[in-house]
Each structure stands twice: as C-alpha cells, then as structure tokens.
C-alpha cells in the first residue's frame, strides 16, 4: 500500500543501533527515512523501533516542526497512534468477522485448494458392516449378515451364508466395523488388550469408507448420509471376477497364423502344438544360457573388462513389467568410494543418492535444496527475510541438517542497481560467499563451491550504498556426503 506519512529516524546515541525486527543498523549520526525502505505495516508494527525511541537510543523527526525532533514519549505516541489508526481503519476485527451482516466479506474464489461441496471424505477402511456387537449371534439372520460374537476371546467376526455362520477369524487390534444396530451406524474400533470396542461417534456427512467385506465376501464402497443417519452403498469393488476367469482355448480358425517356421514344431492349424513348440524352444534357449550371468559379462576378458556398455544405438532400458521388484538396486555403503573416481559416478549413502562432481572434487547429493531470501521495497544494508517473508534472517537462520555445499547463487532486483548479496552463517558477520550485481537487475554464478557444516544456520544480507528495490536471492545447496 502507499505510505501515507514519512518516518525519519536519527541515531544520536553515540554508537551503532540495530532495529532487530526490521533487520537494519544505524551508525551514529545516521538520519534515515524509514518510509523509503519499509512499508507502512512494517514500521507501525515494529516493537523494537518503539522501544529504541522510548529509550532515547533513536529519535523521530517532528513532521510539523522541521528539523526538530520529538521527545521520546511523543515519538512513541506518533508511531503508536498511526499503528492503531491503521489497524482500526484497514482491517476487520475479530468481532466484525464473527458478526453476521457486519460488512466483513470473504470472496470464496480467493480460497484455494478447497474441496467441492459434497465431495466424499475418504476414511480408513473398515472390516465389515455388522448387525450387532454382542454375546452370541442373531437368531433370524439373512444371507450376507455379519456380526461380532463377544463370547469368543478375543472377539471374532462371522458371516452368514444363508444356512450357517462362517468364522471369518479373530478381529485384529485397531480394526474397525460399522455397527448397524447403533441408531447412527457409528464406526467402532477394537482394542485386543482390553477386549473392548470404542465408539467413534456419529460420522460426518459425506464420509466415505471401503468396507473389506459387506457380506458377499468382496469389498464395497460406502458413503455416509446424515439426513438418514446411514451408510449408502456407492458400489462393489469386485476385481477378482475380472482376473480369475476360467481357461479359454482358441482354434487356428479364430487366430491368423502366417508363414512356416522351420524351428518350431506344429502347424498353423494346430495352435496348441505350435505354442508348445515355442515353449520347448525357449526352454532349450534357457538351458543354453544357464550360467551366463551379468557378473560373468562384467568379468569378460578379466578385471572387469566387460563393464562398459557402448549405447551408440539408443539408451539402455530396464523394464520390470508387472513385477513388484525394483528395476535397479544400488547397495548402500557406509562410506563413499575414494579411488577410481570420475565425473558422473553415482552411489548411495545414508539413503541419499549421490553423484561425484569432478569439478568440485567431492560427492554431492543428486537432490538439491534452494534457500530463498528476499525483501519487499527499498532495501539498503539489511538482512533479508526467509523466502521473502518479513522475518529478517539476522533474527534466526535456515539450519542445515547435514553438511552441504553451496553450488550456485542467483540474485534479482526490480530495477537497475548495484548491490551485493552476502551469505553469512551462525550470527557471524563474516561473509562465506557473495554475489554481486553491478549496474544491472540480476546476476548468477554456477561455479560456487562453498562448504557448510551440519548444524550451521544460514543468513543473507544485502550490502548496498543506496537502496535497491525488491531484492531476492536463491542459494542452491547440495548435501555433501
């Protein structure tokens, strides 16, 4: 928003003064128009600025009696009255938001990532829909009914098949069922230690669950309707019938088979024998290839001479098809290689995929982290906020969980200017690296190679002789293993 008044601050304390929550230092004798470097909300909400004015470390210029300065109490009053007036006229209060027809409005289109009204809210699956959770079984069941018999220890689940109750087994700890005998069909959870069932309460409208067995031995989906206080069936999820069909054979008249294949027994009119011949040939091929392993290919010629693949005709492809195993496995080691190193080598340590960077002569993670610091508005000789926030990084820092290396920096300002993005750590005002912008709007450096330690916390400070607008810097780091 547009600044409606100037706040000119003077340091006449005899020493350097730091306004911590604004991230700015004033040397003795400095006179700075804070309105050039900060927005209205930042100045008006700065507790540290008011405290420093109250203690006479800083003083506020009297806007109505230039070039004189207000006494400390009037300086604080000047800042506080503007702050309170701004809050009163620019923001809805809690009472405004809680009172219908108060004039406070929220545009629904400004609220993102909201589900559509009526969308199912999926919950943890349940074992079954049971007619009761009691001692014994119902006396007049119908096919598909299920129940919990508490006479068993621990409790068991039963399903009625039309003539007898089928034992579905012991109910595991933490499993849930829908109790149809409850007026609101609540979901109950079983505790094997105490052999008790706890009521989860009335389900929310549109709560949806997968029922592992709704009486026919197959799963189904249900959604809760609070108008009727019951679960409505969405549909069955019976995949087995699609995959467990009986065998089917086809005559050659139903399938075109062209050509004569001398290495395969059988004829096009006898498809079964033809497939059998193919199966035999594949068996012969498998027998002939027995003993030929990847390790044997690697050792071809001795000392791993066969380890190179010249992929001149296309990429090497590993397709695991429908298997549930991994396509490729690298066995993690506690230490990364130290001999025979070359650019592009990969390995795994501590669960992190690493690549050897020959330019920097170190192992770095393939995964990269991007630390963003910035500040809105006029900025000069100030610490920048995390990810562009108003929390200045001199108040804290982005702490590293592992040793890391800075590999690149990229900086941007809104208009042409000259400044330096300085990277610092651990509240020490010594730069570990920097990126300079000279008479431009941005710069980048992909040759950075600065090591940081686990537990370091990173800070960013903008150095400039004159204010620059909207500075942002992105610091790319890789974990150093």
Give the C-alpha separation, 250 to 240, whole Å.
23
Q: Please name the helix (run of DSSP H) or strand (run of DSSP E) that holds residue 462, with its range, or none.
A: strand 457-463
Backbone angles phi, psi at 449, to 5 degrees: -155, 75
Q: Catalogue all structural domains in the chain, each as residue range(s) with its CATH number.
A: 8-90 (no CATH), 121-236 (no CATH), 365-480 (2.60.120.40)
Which of 130, 178, 186 shows the shortest CA–CA distance to 156? 130
CB 73 within 8 A of CB 81: no
pTM given for the model: 0.45
157: which 2 tokens? 């689940």
Torsions phi, psi of 454, nearest 5? -60, 135
Structure tokens at 51: 């405290």
Q: φ and ψ at 84, to 5 degrees?
A: -65, -40
> Do residues 30 and 10 make contact, with C-beta atoms less than 8 angstroms apart?
yes
Q: Name which of 401, 399, 398, 373 is nearest 386 in CA terms.
A: 373
SS3 content of the chain, % helix, strand, coil (to 5): 15, 35, 50
Return d(Cα 373, Cα 394) in angstroms, integer.
Answer: 11
Per-residue pLDDT tens, the chain, 481 aa: give them. Answer: 344 578 999 999 999 999 999 989 999 999 999 988 888 778 888 999 999 999 999 999 988 788 999 999 888 887 875 544 445 555 666 777 777 776 666 665 666 655 555 678 898 999 999 999 999 999 899 999 999 999 998 899 999 999 999 999 999 999 999 999 999 999 999 999 999 999 999 999 889 999 999 888 889 999 999 989 999 998 888 665 545 544 455 444 545 555 566 666 655 556 667 777 777 777 777 665 555 677 766 776 677 777 788 888 899 899 989 999 998 989 998 999 999 999 999 999 999 999 999 999 999 999 999 999 999 999 999 999 988 677 889 988 899 999 999 999 999 999 999 999 999 999 999 999 999 999 999 999 999 999 999 999 999 999 999 999 999 999 999 999 9
């Amino acid at each position: 928003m547009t600044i409606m008044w100037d706040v000119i601050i003077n340091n006449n304390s005899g020493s350097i003064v730091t306004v911590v929550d604004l991230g700015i230092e004033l040397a003795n004798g400095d006179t700075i128009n804070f309105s050039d470097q900060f927005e209205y909300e930042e100045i008006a909400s700065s507790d540290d600025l008011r405290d420093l004015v109250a203690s006479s470390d800083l003083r506020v210029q009297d806007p109505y009696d230039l070039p004189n300065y207000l006494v400390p109490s009037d300086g604080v009053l000047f800042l506080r009255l503007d702050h309170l007036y701004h809050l009163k006229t620019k923001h809805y209060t809690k009472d405004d938001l809680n009172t219908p027809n108060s004039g406070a409005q929220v545009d629904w289109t400004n609220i993102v990532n909201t589900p559509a009204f009526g969308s199912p809210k999926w919950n943890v699956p349940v074992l079954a829909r049971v007619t009761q959770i009691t001692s014994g079984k119902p006396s007049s069941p119908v096919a598909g009914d299920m129940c919990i018999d508490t006479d068993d220890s621990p409790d068991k689940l039963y399903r009625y098949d039309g003539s007898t109750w089928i034992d579905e087994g012991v109910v595991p700890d933490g499993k849930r069922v829908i109790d149809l005998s409850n007026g609101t069909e609540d979901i109950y959870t079983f505790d094997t230690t105490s052999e008790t069932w706890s009521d989860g309460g009335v389900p929310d409208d549109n709560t949806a669950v997968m029922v592992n067995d709704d009486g026919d031995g197959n799963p189904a989906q249900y959604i809760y309707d609070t108008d009727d206080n019951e679960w409505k069936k969405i549909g069955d999820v019976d995949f087995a019938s699609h995959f467990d069909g009986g065998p089917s054979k086809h005559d050659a008249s139903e399938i075109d088979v062209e050509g004569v294949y001398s290495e395969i027994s059988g004829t096009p009119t006898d498809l079964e024998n033809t497939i059998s011949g193919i199966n035999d040939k594949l068996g012969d091929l498998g027998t002939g290839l027995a003993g030929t392993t990847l390790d044997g290919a690697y050792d071809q010629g001795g000392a791993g001479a066969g380890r190179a693949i010249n992929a001149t005709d296309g990429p090497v492809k590993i397709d695991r098809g429908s298997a549930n195993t991994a396509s490729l496995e690298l066995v993690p080691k506690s230490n990364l290689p130290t001999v025979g190193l070359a650019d592009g080598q990969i390995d795994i340590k501590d669960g992190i995929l690493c690549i050897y960077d020959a330019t920097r002569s170190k192992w770095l993670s393939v995964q990269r982290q991007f630390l963003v610091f910035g500040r809105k508005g006029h900025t000069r000789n100030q610490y920048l906020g995390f990810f562009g926030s108003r929390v200045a990084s001199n108040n804290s820092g982005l702490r590293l969980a592992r040793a890391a290396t800075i590999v690149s920096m990229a900086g941007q300002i809104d208009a042409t200017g000259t400044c330096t993005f300085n990277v610092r750590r651990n509240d020490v005002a010594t730069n570990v690296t920097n990126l300079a912008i000279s008479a431009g709007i941005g710069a980048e450096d992909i040759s950075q190679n600065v090591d940081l330690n686990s537990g370091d916390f990173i800070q960013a400070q903008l150095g400039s002789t004159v204010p620059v607008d909207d500075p942002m810097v992105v610091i790319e780091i890789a974990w150093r293993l």
